[in-house]
Structure 1
Amino acid sequence: MRETDLYPPIKSLLEGQGYRVKSEIGAVDVVALRGDEPPVVVELKTGFSLALFHQCIARQAVTDDVYLAVPRLAGKRFARSLKENVALARRLSLGVITVRLSDGLVEVHCDPGPYRPRKSKKRQSALLREFARRAGDPNEGGQTRAGLITAYRQDATKIALYLFEVGASKGAEVARETGVVNATRIMRDDHYNWFEKVATGVYGLTSAGAEAVALTPRVLGD
């Protein structure tokens, strides 16, 4: 696979739209002109890379109409990569073209232009809710998800601490005394293997839960 394999199909597409097309003009792989319109620039590469995006951003000093072009591959891995890179290209006001080398099919996945991301109120609400519920600042910025202390884990820790001090208790009592309104569900779901059901509506602490109590100051930010 070579970058030059991409050129004939892309040239054919652009010429079909009324452009005059030439390759290797200065540092640019492909330049297309149509009347008095600004030039269209296409950079050809055998795959997505950060260097390709850097190159295309540099071409925006020449024209706003900059595309990056790569071969279209089969499989879910490429499909996922394409989706992610198209999203990045939109944010950078770049266009994305793929070429299926088996038959020369050219697809334009996005055109250059201003990008206005749609805000997700649901995600924003979840972010603010987690911020408000989390006690203190128990994590280190940049750490991996493993061992991350969430508001849910803090609630579970409050429950474990209460059961450690008081013993097996009814869910309603735990909720009232700890302030964790969904205490019964947390104990029933038992994501951390800290709780065990000892009677109808009554939960106790497992040995793993007792060990977790030792980490209470760090988890609760005390």
Structure 2
Amino acid sequence: MAIRHETELYAPLKVFFEQQGYVIKGEVRTCDLVGVKENEEQPLIVEMKKSFNLALLLQGVERLRLSPTVYLAVERVRDKKGAVNQRWGELSGLCRRLGLGLITVTFYKTKPPVVEVLVLPDETLPLQRSGGRRRERLLLEFRERSGDYNTGGSTGVKLVTAYREKALRVALALQAAEVEAQLSALRQQSGVAADPTTPAEAGVVGRAAERRVGRTATPTSGTAGAAKPAGISPAELRKRSGVPNAALMLQHNYYGWFSRVTRGRYILTTAGAAALIEYAAIAETSAARGER
């Protein structure tokens, strides 16, 4: 059964390597699949294509700068028409000469895919010195992500990077601070003592704010007669979110989630509130990890 997209290779490969003790994440700094195993310094890298071609081979050779454990993965088509896909002996020999691993995935209509390792990477080859910094950045990006939210082999889609996760944490902290400020203002107007906001209370108001997205000018617009929030400081957001470079994220505003209302004071934009709804599970998971 021929696949339509190379992303279909990701799930069976992820399961295969997880069974070997790897933690797997997709689309890490342009690598389709990256795995890290405890007590192993070098990462696992897998590049995927629907069929074996020169582009895949060159991609694999380039990845050898980052790690000696590099596999090329392609579908194994059972149909005998695909001649180039049937020359596994020759392709295996080529990969073996280059130090690359080779994996095939065979898909069936009525049973799970079968992953077969034809060639193991030659991990005795010395690493190229020029790849040291790139390997460090790859591993840093891997560690900074709270989970695997991307499908390897994806193109033309928004990826959940470590930077996006941190921006979501800052946005979540900003939303919570605005909710607390609104509740405090409402208490003062009604003459109720301004006790600390409970998580449950903040959650109720936060969900109400989510339902208002798209119907208000900004998610921080208060109710009639309520004092308009003056914004939240970067120092407060850095403390709440646990993101050290929160101030730079607010200033650069790469995603358009934040708006400066006055010097050193920020509010959440409608786009930011919408992002927190779109990436709700990721934002909560990332925030929980940041608190540990």
**Which protein has the bigger strand share?**
1
* TM-score when normalising by structure 1: 0.49
Q: Which has the larger radius of gyration?
A: 1
